[in-house]
Structure 1
Amino acid sequence: MNVDELVAHSVKHNASDLHLCPGLSPVVRIDGELRSLETLPPLGEDIITGWCADRLGPRARDALLAYGQADGAAALAGGQRLRAHFFRQRTGVSAAFRLIPSQVPTLAQLRIPPAAAGLLAEPRGLLLVTGAAGSGKSSSLAAMTHHLNHSSRQHIITLEDPIEFIHRPESCLIQQRQIGEDCRHFRDGLQGALREDPNVILLGELRDGESIRLALNAAETGHLVLGTLHARHACQAVDRLLAAFSGQEQSFARAVLAECLLAIMAQTLVPREGGGRTGLFELLVATPAVRNIIRDGKTHLLPGLLQTGKEQGMLTFDQSRRQQSGHGEPAMAVNDFCKIAAV
């Protein structure tokens, strides 16, 4: 079984990730759990690196040789897309694939909180999706973009590393740019986007202080900015954003964030009744009280507002869990997948 066939099996049986390591049988992640396909033989390092060069191109191949790791996205036969990361480790070159659904999910399918969905109608401001790696942040951003694409007439520019979901323009003009391919750096791409007459700017991930600063600037200057950030809770994300600024800049940063923040939606994936996983959400809406707390630097008070702000659209993980109860759907058992993949 070659790499493409392994990917096809993984997709067919609802795996979210596929891991290839020289000397070991392939490993898949289903419903958050790793399972080794022990009846399948290991793939050689030459096959793994060859796939990298063939599918991701010379830029990724050269990066792998020079730096010991490379990232990219690829489309397979039939339109299946995946995000790929190759890295050198003790026994050779391994690969980690994140499998991207062929259809862009909708807000309803992901059960995005209505208050968060409603904020997509705002003409300007910062709306962040946060969570741990593998919590579905990219899917939520894709669903938001899909909603805008079918409900408004706007110019949407995305800056992604790499591009995951492909959006076909419907009522919106959508232009997707991949960092390293279509522009050199995140900074260059965002500075360019501000000159390209956008209404909405989607930022795949705010990874460092510079990207956070640029995102706030874009929101402050009259654009709707959607982005992701690694933070398990919405209130923690506020501190992460402010930590990008030095002590002397803190007062300015708090004022800017208080002015432009719309909401922060944290999310996680949990087992669903009957199998599979579903999203739980936490939503911190930038009400006047939240803005005042941020402006005054009293972010330790935010969890209290989150707990008591249901009437303002706030949502806690516990409240989300109660709302999701009773929505279980059947899913294939992990053990069944492992048996079929060996056929």
Structure 2
Amino acid sequence: MDSKIFVQILEIAFNKKVSDVHFEVDNPPFFRGKGQIIRSKLPNLTSADTEFIATTIMEHNNRRWEQEQKEFDTSFSLPTGARFRVSIFRQRGHFGIIMRVIPANIGSFDELRLPGVLGEIVKAPNGLILVTGPTGNGKSTTLASMLRHINENFSYNCITIEDPIEFLFSSQKSCIIQREVGIDTDSFASALKASLRMDPDIIMVGEMRDTETIESCLMAAETGHLVLSTLHTQGAVSTINRIVGHFPPDAQEIVRHRLADILVATISIRLIKNKTGEFILPALEIMRSTTTIQSCIREGRLDEIEGHMENGRSQYQMQTLDQHLIQLHEQDQITMEEAKRLSHSTDLERKLMFTS
């Protein structure tokens, strides 16, 4: 492996619009396209090959791999402008590298097939908006699209704290400052504290990873800022449980009350194949904080939230995941098999018959 071949592989990945490139010892490079892992016809990689790739990426970021390091997250870019989010790790004593392709353009809601209600949600003057879902299901892309909407329509000072920086923004109506953990700041929590002295209107935190970062996000939302962030959770109820569960038992009731006061919305996203298998579509659960849902959060009646989302579809444009899956199926965009695979319930077909 040399620099020329490495760059060629990345250019192919970027131009073919695959989502990820995998480099692992004793295997050829793998690509993920349309949700599927594709084994390339290139030669198997050696330990020297993956070490070369890891070293090239680290040097690109003016970093060295420390002997005690086990993993490292960063970004990588080509002179052509192609950008990648990178995870470098050790496996069986060798380097492994997975590179996520960052699209050249930040998609609009329409281009990404996201509902227009997201534009209404980001109009909130302050509070906490969370985008959730499993790894690789479009959380960062959705968050970037929401920030694009803000940038095009509102005059705010927006500060992003990311690890690493993914989408690059140019200030339009809004002023956007992007800070990268490990390069521009030491941690999410320290950057959040510093951001409160930077005249922010909106703070975007790439991920709420630990209790300190969660607490800092809650405080920023409580002090009159709009905070956007992500969590690796499946839906609104698991998101609330995850946040509350980060705190000691004797503090959890207070945290529920705080969360009820500041939570604007949760947007939980999963990606699903369309009927032909040619495209990937987003399936979303959307919960907006109504007075009723605030009461459910304060009093710990989380099992009632899904029912309120179902009932609030027409008035508040909320929806459960099942409601959106049924809608996509009725529009002949997805198969019932795909819908059932993604649904959390066991009676999706019965629900579909009931709505028909």
> TM-score of the superposition, structure 2-length normalised?
0.87
1:305 aligned residue (297, 308, 316): 308
Q: Stretches of 4+ moved more than 4 A in 1?
A: 58-61, 325-329
After TM superposition, give the deviation of residue 208 of structure 1 in Å: 1.6
Deviations 1:154-202 (A, max 9, x none): 1000000000000011111100000011001111100000110000000
Give the % identical residues: 31
C-alpha RMSD of the superposition: 1.9
Correspondence list, 1:162-177, <5 A: 162-177=164-179
Partner Cα separation in structure 1 for residue 80 and residue 60 of structure 2: 23
Give 1:30's aligned amino acid. Answer: G
Task: Report the counterpart of residue 147 of structure 1 in structure 2.
Answer: 149
Correspondence list, 1:201-220, <5 A: 201-220=203-222
Deviations 1:232-274 (A, max 9, x none): 1222111111112212112211111111000000000000233
Task: Report the counterpart of residue 317 of structure 1 in structure 2.
Answer: 321
Q: Does 1:35 align with 2:38?
A: yes
Task: Report the counterpart of residue 53 of structure 2 in structure 1.
Answer: 51
Partner Cα separation in structure 2 for residue 187 and residue 71 of structure 1: 17
Task: Report the counterpart of residue 182 of structure 1 in structure 2.
Answer: 184
Q: Does 1:269 align with 2:271?
A: yes
After TM superposition, give the deviation of residue 46 of structure 1 in Å: 2.9
Give 1:185's aligned amino acid. Answer: S
After TM superposition, give the deviation of residue 64 of structure 1 in Å: 5.2
Change (3 A) 1:14 1:327: farther
Partner Cα separation in structure 2 for residue 3 and residue 276 of structure 1: 28
CA contact (8 A) 1:128 1:264 kept: yes
Change (3 A) 1:58 1:5: closer
Task: Report the counterpart of residue 250 of structure 2 in structure 1.
Answer: 248
Alignment length (residue pairs): 328
CA contact (8 A) 1:63 1:69 kept: no
Task: Report the counterpart of residue 83 of structure 2 in structure 1.
Answer: 81
2:197 aligned residue (163, 178, 195): 195
CA contact (8 A) 1:126 1:262 kept: yes
Deviations 1:272-294 (A, max 9, x none): 23312110100011000000111
CA contact (8 A) 1:61 1:70 kept: no
Task: Find the residue that maps to 2:52 and give its secondary structure.
Answer: helix
After TM superposition, give the deviation of residue 60 of structure 1 in Å: 7.5
Deviations 1:195-222 (A, max 9, x none): 1000000000111222111111111110
Task: Find the residue that maps to 2:80 and give its secondary structure.
Answer: helix
CA contact (8 A) 2:286 2:320 kept: yes
Partner Cα separation in structure 2 for residue 294 and residue 64 of structure 1: 45
Give 1:284's aligned amino acid. Answer: M
CA contact (8 A) 1:82 1:97 kept: yes
Give 1:169's aligned amino acid. Answer: S
After TM superposition, give the deviation of residue 117 of structure 1 in Å: 2.1
Which moves more between the two structures, 17-26 or 157-166? 17-26
Give 1:18's aligned amino acid. Answer: V
> TM-score of the superposition, structure 1-length normalised?
0.90
CA contact (8 A) 2:231 2:239 kept: yes
Which moves more between the two structures, 320-329 or 122-131? 320-329
After TM superposition, give the deviation of residue 89 of structure 1 in Å: 1.1
Change (3 A) 1:5 1:29: same
CA contact (8 A) 1:234 1:266 kept: yes
Task: Report the counterpart of residue 284 of structure 2 in structure 1.
Answer: 281
After TM superposition, give the deviation of residue 62 of structure 1 in Å: 3.2
After TM superposition, give the deviation of residue 13 of structure 1 in Å: 2.1
CA contact (8 A) 1:235 1:284 kept: no
Task: Report the counterpart of residue 110 of structure 2 in structure 1.
Answer: 108
After TM superposition, give the deviation of residue 115 of structure 1 in Å: 2.5
CA contact (8 A) 2:54 2:95 kept: no
Which moves more between the two structures, 75-84 or 113-122? 113-122
Partner Cα separation in structure 2 for residue 144 and residue 262 of structure 1: 14
The higher-RCO structure (CA 8 Å, 6+ apart) is: 1
Partner Cα separation in structure 2 for residue 222 and residue 186 of structure 1: 19
After TM superposition, give the deviation of residue 322 of structure 1 in Å: 4.0
Partner Cα separation in structure 2 for residue 296 and residue 321 of structure 1: 30
Task: Report the counterpart of residue 349 of structure 2 in structure 1.
Answer: none
After TM superposition, give the deviation of residue 59 of structure 1 in Å: 6.8
Partner Cα separation in structure 2 for residue 58 and residue 108 of structure 1: 35
Task: Report the counterpart of residue 295 of structure 2 in structure 1.
Answer: 292
Task: Report the counterpart of residue 11 of structure 1 in structure 2.
Answer: 14
Task: Report the counterpart of residue 342 of structure 2 in structure 1.
Answer: none
Partner Cα separation in structure 1 for residue 98 and residue 8 of structure 2: 15
After TM superposition, give the deviation of residue 58 of structure 1 in Å: 7.7
Partner Cα separation in structure 1 for residue 50 and residue 332 of structure 2: 39
Give 2:308's aligned amino acid. Answer: L
